[in-house]
């Protein structure tokens, strides 16, 4: 299936000064006035895969919306239809964070190589295709190291394997190319047009000349050959996935101020507030900033609003926009909060569980947000009022680090602490 681009058009502007007037004293939220002045760059670009019924990458699309407008989601009384266990030690290797995909009705993920139980070989992985109805799977290709952050576009699998990116034929598993060594901790691999955008979540430095020089964290490769077109130092690291915000002409690294031209690598705009967890949805830019959430108009870079609770309790993940509501994690409070999309005013707050279970991923269809908590447990929230439609927590969903999700049609996938994949409908 050929990817479709969203109608979210954008021009980049260099934001030089921002007026700080216009306070809306509701739940710590502020609406700021238009910037004093800016310089128009007139570089247009659209996010890719936004109007896509598939879940071909972590985040669903290059705007990191985690929103599938074509999905129906599970039933009102869902259950685990099947599970797929992993054979490796996910607690030490990080393999449970494997981020399943759903493309053209087939589920894809990685598992440990079944023929070995030697812990020294536990990095050996197999990329598999799974029947969504039965959970039966077939291997597509193997690698001598973990297969990390796969993306499927035009019958090709692009994935990080150790410190490089490789491209495989989806039908027969033939390796088409592999890049040179890039960096450890490759966190995101995405195709946009004829380019592959790769991001590392590891911040490394070169000290060979007596000064600490940051090594590249952002790479743009040729999609046909894997050759590096350009690279750039990043802004931060961490254990969580680092997902860039990408249009067909620009790429923004999390927590960085410079929007870089996708072809030349030159900075094409400077944002006033670098953010983590950047999201671009229908021309609106959202991001986490110091325990709060900020929103900008992507075309003008006008600050639309800021929501900064006194306890700095929101913004630990990608804001999910559904209709007129922005849903975000409240990691020090009740669980999740809904903000007014136009003002940032707090509309509702919901506590899902009696205990606190972390969640960094949540996805949505047209009226529901589905949470993916550590261990694979999950719930569905009505975005209009935050009410809990259903909760699901089985004995197999033991608490522990493990994350990932995918949503397409009526299938919702979460990942447990030991790498177990839960298929829920």
Q: Comparing 205 with 2, which gets the higher pLDDT?
A: 205
> Taking residues 167-187, what's their average pLDDT?
95
| Whether the predicted pLDDT of 151 surpasses 90 | yes
Q: Comparing 17 with 298, which gets the higher pLDDT?
A: 298
Token output for 279 = 């999201």
Would you kindly state where each structural domain of the chain is located, as residue ranges?
A: 13-424
In which band, very low, low, confident or very high, does the pLDDT at 33 lie, cut at 50, 70 and 90?
A: very low
Closest CA to 298 of 30, 5, 101, 15: 15
> Taking residues 273-284, what's their average pLDDT?
90
Calpha distance 350→385 (Å, rounded): 9
In which band, very low, low, confident or very high, does the pLDDT at 370 lie, cut at 50, 70 and 90?
A: very high
Domain 13-424 -> CATH class: mainly beta
In which band, very low, low, confident or very high, does the pLDDT at 31 lie, cut at 50, 70 and 90?
A: low
Query: pLDDT at position 399, please?
Result: 74
Query: pLDDT at position 114, please?
Result: 58
Q: Comparing 207 with 29, which gets the higher pLDDT?
A: 207
Summarize pLDDT for 67-78 with one digit per residue, the tens: 999 999 999 999
Q: Which residue has the tokens 């700021």?
A: 32
Strands 303-307 and 29-30: antiparallel
Q: Comparing 56 with 15, which gets the higher pLDDT?
A: 56
Token output for 374 = 């550590």
| Whether the predicted pLDDT of 189 surpasses 60 | yes
Query: pLDDT at position 115, please?
Result: 58
Supply the Cα-derived Rg of the chain in whole angstroms. Answer: 21
> Taking residues 410-417, what's their average pLDDT?
92
3-state secondary structure of 272: coil
With 0-12 CB in 10 A as exposed, 13-18 as middle and 19+ as buried, what is 190? buried
Average pLDDT, the chain: 83
Q: What is the pTM of this model?
A: 0.88
Summarize pLDDT for 80-120 with one digit per residue, the tens: 999 998 755 444 444 445 789 999 999 999 988 655 545 55
Calpha distance 124→121 (Å, rounded): 6
In which band, very low, low, confident or very high, does the pLDDT at 239 lie, cut at 50, 70 and 90?
A: low
Q: What is the distance of C-alpha 366 from the center of its chain?
A: 18
> Taking residues 127-151, what's their average pLDDT?
94
Measured at the CA of 146, the angle between CA 145 and CA 148, to 5 degrees, comes to: 135
C-alpha pair distances (Å), 1 with each of 54, 155, 156: 9, 8, 11
> Taking residues 360-384, what's their average pLDDT?
94
Token output for 149 = 């952050």
């Amino acid at each position: 299936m050929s990817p479709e681009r969203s109608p979210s058009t954008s021009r980049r502007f260099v934001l030089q000064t921002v007026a700080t007037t216009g306070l809306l004293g509701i739940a710590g939220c502020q609406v700021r006035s238009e910037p004093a002045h800016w310089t128009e760059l007139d570089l247009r670009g659209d996010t890719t895969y936004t109007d896509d019924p598939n879940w071909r990458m972590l985040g669903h699309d290059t705007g990191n919306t985690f929103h599938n407008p074509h999905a129906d989601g599970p039933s009102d009384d869902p259950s685990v239809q099947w599970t797929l266990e992993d054979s490796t030690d996910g607690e030490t290797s990080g393999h449970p964070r494997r981020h399943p995909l759903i493309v053209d009705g087939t589920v894809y993920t990685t598992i440990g190589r079944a023929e070995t139980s030697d812990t020294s070989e536990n990095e050996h992985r197999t990329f598999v295709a799974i029947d969504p109805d039965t959970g039966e799977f077939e291997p597509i290709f193997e690698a001598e190291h973990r297969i990390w952050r796969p993306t499927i576009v035009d019958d090709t699998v692009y994935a990080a394997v150790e410190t490089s990116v490789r491209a495989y034929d989806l039908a027969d598993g033939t390796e088409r190319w592999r890049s040179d060594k890039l960096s450890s901790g490759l966190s995101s691999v995405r195709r946009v047009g004829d380019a592959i955008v790769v991001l590392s979540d590891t911040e490394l430095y070169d000290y060979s000349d007596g000064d600490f020089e940051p090594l590249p964290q952002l790479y743009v490769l040729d999609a046909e050959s894997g050759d590096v077109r350009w690279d750039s130092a990043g802004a931060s690291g961490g254990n969580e996935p680092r997902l860039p915000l990408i249009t067909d002409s620009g790429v923004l690294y999390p927590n960085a101020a410079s929007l870089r031209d996708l072809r030349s690598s030159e900075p094409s705009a400077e944002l006033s507030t670098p953010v983590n967890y950047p999201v671009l949805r229908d021309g609106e830019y959202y991001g986490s900033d110091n325990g709060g959430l900020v929103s900008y108009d992507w075309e003008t870079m006008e600050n639309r609003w800021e929501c900064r609770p006194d306890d700095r309790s929101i913004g630990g993940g990608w804001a999910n926009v559904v209709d007129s509501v922005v849903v975000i994690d409240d990691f020090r409070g009740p669980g999740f909060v809904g903000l007014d999309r136009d003002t940032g005013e707090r509309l509702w707050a919901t506590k899902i569980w009696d205990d606190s279970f972390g969640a960094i991923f949540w996805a949505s269809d047209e009226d529901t947000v589905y949470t993916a908590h550590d261990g694979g447990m999950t719930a569905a929230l009505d975005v209009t009022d935050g009410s809990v439609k259903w909760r699901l927590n089985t004995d197999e969903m033991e608490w522990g680090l493990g994350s990932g999700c995918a949503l397409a049609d009526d299938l919702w996938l979460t990942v447990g602490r030991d790498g177990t994949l839960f298929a829920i409908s």
